[in-house]
Structure 1
Amino acid sequence: MTTQTRAVDHELIQAAAEVARTRCRGDNHTMAAAARAQDGRIVTAVNAYHFTGGPCAELVLVGAAAAQGAYELDTIVAVGDRDRGVVPPCGRCRQVLLDYFPALKVIVGEGDRIRTVLITDLLPESYVWADHQLEAEPTALLSTG
């Protein structure tokens, strides 16, 4: 695994933290996510906890971004409510994010160890479901942002 040092988008962390602080209430919404689209816009979302496995904030964000016409995401971060800070994506989210955005950058770590890594660094040696689309849409899936 070749992890490169990348700049941390602190504005994105602040956006997610603000949503976690102001919109996460009770047990149904405990995580917030923020992503920067390729065009610079920031999209935010919260999780929708449910005992059947409701979607994480990162997955809600994928749909919210699409609903706003932001189909290409550059960087994503999740933040927990009650000042828990940056929280790395779970395994399911890692796979979905890789499938939708193979060049996505993800902010992970805590305190002075916050860093930005590629989604492929979080899920090495993985199958990319989006591979089937490479022949039809090579520029959309191969852009590195």
Structure 2
Amino acid sequence: MDLHPLTADDHALIELARRTVEENTDGPDGVHTMGAAVRGADGRLFAGINLYHFTGGPCAELVALGNARASGARTLTTIVAVGNENRGIFAPCGRDRQVLVDYYPGIRVIVPTADGPRSVLATDLLPGAYHWEP
């Protein structure tokens, strides 16, 4: 896995995800407990928050991807998810990894590591992934 140190732009993306979840959380037992942010190739940032539901509502990463698409962003470079109440950065779940590989295989994902947050290609997070094409 090819891990990269974070840039100033990466830290700004983390801050947007953190701010999004902290301003909109329902607390530790609430349904809005994760925030995400994604950066477009043009530098624009887009945020999302999870919509937890017993039927499997969308994760914050998927909401952020949808927000970016609805705003006209077609090429995305980096994504991150952050937990509420200062829980920090989280790696994407399996479903999100599959979506990232299918739609944005070149996107970098900010993940926690033993040496602090780093970025990695989405394809490195899901080796041997099933390749679906819309």
Give the TM-score of the pair, scaled to structure 1: 0.83
Which consecutive aligned stretches of 4+ in structure 1 deviate over 4 angstroms post-superposition? none
Match of 2:36 in 1: 33
The question of 1:127 aligning with 2:133 is answered no
Distance 1:80 1:15, change over 3 A: same
1: CA distance between counterparts of 2:106 and 2:96? 15
Partner of 2:87: 84
Q: Secondary structure at the match of 1:129?
A: coil
Which amino acid letter does the alignment assign opposite residue 35 of structure 1?
V
**CA positional deviation for 1:127:** 2.6
RMSD: 1.6
Q: Is the 1:6–1:117 Cα contact (8 Å) retained in structure 2?
A: no
**Deviation, structure 1 residue 110:** 5.3
Query: Partners of 2:5 and 2:76 in 1: how far apart?
Result: 16
Greater C-alpha Rg: 1
Cα distance in 2 for partners of 1:4, 1:114 equals: 9
Q: 1:93-112 maps to which residues of 2 (within 5 A)?
A: 93-109=96-112, 112=115
Point out the structure with the larger helix share.
1
- Measured against aligned partners, the alpha-carbon deviations of 1:70-98 in whole angstroms (never above 9, x if no partner) come to 12110000000011010110000000111
Alignment check: 8 A CA contact 1:102 1:128 kept: no
Size of the aligned set, in residue pairs, is: 130
Match in the other structure for 1:59: 62
Partner AA of 2:34 in structure 1: M
Decide whether the 8 Å contact of 1:105 with 1:119 is kept in 2. Answer: yes
For residue 36 of structure 1, give the secondary structure of its aligned residue in structure 2.
strand
Percent identity among equivalent residues? Answer: 52
> Residue 17 of structure 2 aligns with which residue?
16
Q: Do the aligned residues in 2 keep the contact of 1:108 with 1:116 (CA within 8 Å)?
A: yes
